[in-house]
């Protein structure tokens, strides 16, 4: 891992990291997970991106928080943070570095992977995940060209291709299909997994609605519910190019943008951040008991056979 990557992890918003770990952050405070706390003794300093418990003295940055909370060593904590935030660590290139080669992040080699998505194949684990657990519409799974494979250890992965507007393969996200297993995600070198499902823009009619979701699984749910949708990885990770694409699209087309933010503080924060880019973004409220659109979709699709 190089210094730039490490800095990316250290810059991940501390409160967002705490929430991903399952802490409930409210007004820059939460219960401290490192002692038997009943009074929200842990506080977060957004300006310094640190946490500190006034009772037990635990303190540090995002990586420290993950290390302590999950009982991980430094490397495992970095890996976890990267996976959780779709950050690509150049661990392949660091292998070469160790053996004396100069490290260089190679660009994504689409020609190596394109053929996998020409004839998608779903193994049993993938079918169970997509059709049984998520109840996705098979037409959506075909449109997204989802495919699957097993690695040498026999671990099943779902392979999710990212295309640009012109339909060119620009990146791949591999999702571990073993529940709870780490790493959850893996990206081939140089993958650019920014906005997901960009080819859908070519199908939009003037004035039509476009939903913005967080992450591809909510996007599949939204598509299965009959809406046109794209997904963003997360607001902090939107690149300048992605922001420009959204802004230009908004200025040139009569698309109306819609969003069902996750029913929590990060969800609302993401909505507000996106609203700065897309001022007309329409807020939809998820019903109580549904924390994201994926869950809501499961509820509404429950009535279908
Ligand atoms: Zn404490």
Decide which of 235 and 154 is more confident.
154
**What are the pLDDT digits (tens) for 47-102?**
999 999 988 889 999 999 999 888 888 888 998 898 888 777 765 444 333 333 33
pLDDT at 236: 53
Burial class (CB in 10 A: 0-12, 13-18, 19+), 100: exposed
Report how far ligand 1's centroid is from the alpha carbon of 120 (Å). Answer: 49
Report how far ligand 1's centroid is from the alpha carbon of 10 (Å). Answer: 21
Report how far ligand 1's centroid is from the alpha carbon of 43 (Å). Answer: 10
Report how far ligand 1's centroid is from the alpha carbon of 56 (Å). Answer: 4
Report how far ligand 1's centroid is from the alpha carbon of 269 (Å). Answer: 26
Residue 37 clears pLDDT 90, i.e. is over it: no
Report how far ligand 1's centroid is from the alpha carbon of 59 (Å). Answer: 9
Strands (E), 86-228: 147-150, 156-163, 169-176, 185-186, 209-214
Helices of type H across 161-289: 216-224, 240-252, 265-277
Report how far ligand 1's centroid is from the alpha carbon of 39 (Å). Answer: 10
Largest CA distance in the chain: 59
Q: Among all chains, which residue has been given the structure tokens 């893996």? A: 186
Report how far ligand 1's centroid is from the alpha carbon of 23 (Å). Answer: 13
The DSSP line for 31-69 is --TTTT-SS--EEEETTTTEEEETTT--EE-HHHHHHHH
Report how far ligand 1's centroid is from the alpha carbon of 37 (Å). Answer: 7
Decide which of 99 and 183 is more confident.
183
pLDDT at 203: 93
**What are the pLDDT digits (tens) for 217-250?**
999 999 999 999 999 875 555 677 888 899 899 8
pLDDT at 226: 95
Report how far ligand 1's centroid is from the alpha carbon of 53 (Å). Answer: 5
Report how far ligand 1's centroid is from the alpha carbon of 81 (Å). Answer: 22
Identity of the highest mean pLDDT range in 89-98, 164-173, 246-255: 164-173
Residue 24 clears pLDDT 70, i.e. is over it: yes
Residue 10: both structure tokens together: 């250290």
pLDDT at 75: 87
Report how far ligand 1's centroid is from the alpha carbon of 291 (Å). Answer: 28
Residue 185 clears pLDDT 70, i.e. is over it: yes
Report how far ligand 1's centroid is from the alpha carbon of 31 (Å). Answer: 8
Average pLDDT over every residue of 166-195: 86
pLDDT at 104: 44
**What are the pLDDT digits (tens) for 261-296?**
999 887 888 898 889 889 999 999 999 999 999 999
Residue 182 clears pLDDT 90, i.e. is over it: no
Report how far ligand 1's centroid is from the alpha carbon of 33 (Å). Answer: 6
**pTM of this structure:** 0.68
Report how far ligand 1's centroid is from the alpha carbon of 55 (Å). Answer: 5
Report how far ligand 1's centroid is from the alpha carbon of 30 (Å). Answer: 10
């Amino acid at each position: 891992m190089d210094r730039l990557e490490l800095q990316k992890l250290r810059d991940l918003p501390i409160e967002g990291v705490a929430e991903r770990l399952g802490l409930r952050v409210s007004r820059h405070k939460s219960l401290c997970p490192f002692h038997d706390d009943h009074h929200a003794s842990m506080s977060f300093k957004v300006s310094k991106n640190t946490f500190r418990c006034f009772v037990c003295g635990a303190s540090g940055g995002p990586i420290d928080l993950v290390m302590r909370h999950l009982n991980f060593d430094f490397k495992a904590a970095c890996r976890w943070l990267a996976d959780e935030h779709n950050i690509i660590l150049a661990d392949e290139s660091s292998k070469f570095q160790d053996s004396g080669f100069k490290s260089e992040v190679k660009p994504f080699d689409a020609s190596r992977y394109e053929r996998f998505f020409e004839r998608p194949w779903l193994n049993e684990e993938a079918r169970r995940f997509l059709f049984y657990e998520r109840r996705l519409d098979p037409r959506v799974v075909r449109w997204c060209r989802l495919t699957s494979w097993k690695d040498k250890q026999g671990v099943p992965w779902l392979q999710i291709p990212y295309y640009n507007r012109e339909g060119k393969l620009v990146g791949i996200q591999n999702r571990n299909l073993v529940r709870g297993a780490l790493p959850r995600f893996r990206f081939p070198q140089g993958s650019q997994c920014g906005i997901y499902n960009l080819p859908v823009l070519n199908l939009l009619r003037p004035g039509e609605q476009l939903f913005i979701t967080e992450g591809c699984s909510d996007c599949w749910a939204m598509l299965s519910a009959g809406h046109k949708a794209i997904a963003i990885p997360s607001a902090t990770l939107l690149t300048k190019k992605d922001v420009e694409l959204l802004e230009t699209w908004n200025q040139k087309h009569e698309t109306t943008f819609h969003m069902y933010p996750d029913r929590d503080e990060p969800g609302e924060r993401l909505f507000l951040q996106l609203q700065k880019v897309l001022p007309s973004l329409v807020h939809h409220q998820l019903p109580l008991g549904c924390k994201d659109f994926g869950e809501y979709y499961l509820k509404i699709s429950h009535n279908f056979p």
